[in-house]
Amino acid sequence: MVVACLALFAVSTGMGFASSSSTTLHGCINKKTGALRVMSKCSSSERTSIWNTTGAKGATGATGATGAIGATGATGATGATGTAGATGATGATGPSDAWGASSPGETDVTTTSKNLSVTVPAGSYVVTGKASEENRDTANPASIGCWLFAGTTQIDLTYSDALASNPTIGGYGFTTNVTHAVYETSTGTTFSFRCVGRGGATAIYVKDPTLNAIEVGTIH
């Protein structure tokens, strides 16, 4: 307010302000009358007065509102294709091997067994033995027993019975004998299939016997 009054005083009197710098004003006040004159030097009857031309710093203004979100930038170019990875190692061969044995034709097993065998490495196996029975005895029914072994361990046994041979109604008595098992071996083994006649018939035959061992992945 003092600065405003001084400015008005200067205009009305046509006086210029005396200043020692751009930020202060110098004036002289009469000690008796209180009259003010703006001068850089005062007489002994006056006292010096100095004013700042710049007011005190005002309070910090409130933070302005957040500006709007800028537009999305353009999509960047696609990066270069990476180099191909190394080829993986070849996997182990799957367990799909099979072993088989057969004996085409007819074999008399009235008193002597018919044997088939296959030797396999360590693994898990499905094993099947099959033989057709023929009874050529015209007076007595016949029976055969067929065994399935892993080494010396019996893993299956079946019996079949055939009627007596009767040429009038079609020939030999006939039936089929099938053995079947699953088996796991950690060291390898020999599977064998044996068939032999039983009972009182005098002419018992097996026809086209077969033995098959198929290696599998897992036995559940």
Residue at token pair 């015209």 = 138
Percent of the chain scored above 90 by pLDDT? 47
**Which among 25-39, 81-95, 164-178, 179-193 has the top mean pLDDT?**
179-193
pLDDT greater at residue 22 or residue 35 = 35
How far, in Å, CA of 166 to CA of 99, rounded?
A: 38
Is the residue at 82 inside a domain? no
**Lowest mean per-residue pLDDT among 1-15, 116-130, 161-175, 182-196:** 1-15
Is the residue at 58 inside a domain? no
CATH number assigned to the domain comprising residue 106: 2.60.120.1340
pLDDT greater at residue 73 or residue 14 = 73
Q: What is the reported pLDDT for 10?
A: 40
Based on the domain organization, do 207 and 109 belong to the same domain? Answer: yes
How far, in Å, CA of 66 to CA of 173, rounded?
A: 104
Percent of the chain scored above 70 by pLDDT? 87
Q: What is the reported pLDDT for 12?
A: 38
What residues make up the domain containing 140?
98-216
What is the number of structural domains in the chain?
2
pLDDT at 94 over 80: no
Based on the domain organization, do 37 and 110 belong to the same domain? Answer: no
* pLDDT tens digits, one per residue of 203-216: 999 999 999 999 99
* pLDDT tens digits, one per residue of 148-179: 999 999 999 999 999 888 877 656 778 899 99
Q: What is the reported pLDDT for 152?
A: 97
Confidence class of residue 56 from pLDDT cuts 50, 70 and 90? confident
Is the residue at 92 inside a domain? no
Based on the domain organization, do 111 and 170 belong to the same domain? Answer: yes
Q: Which amino acid is present at 191?
A: F
Confidence class of residue 11 from pLDDT cuts 50, 70 and 90? very low
DSSP 74-133: PPPPPPPPPPPPPPPPPPPPPS--EEEEE--SEEE-SSS-EEEEEEE-SEEEEEEEEEEE
pLDDT greater at residue 17 or residue 103 = 103
pLDDT at 15 over 70: no
Q: Which amino acid is present at 212?
A: N
Q: Which amino acid is present at 24?
A: T
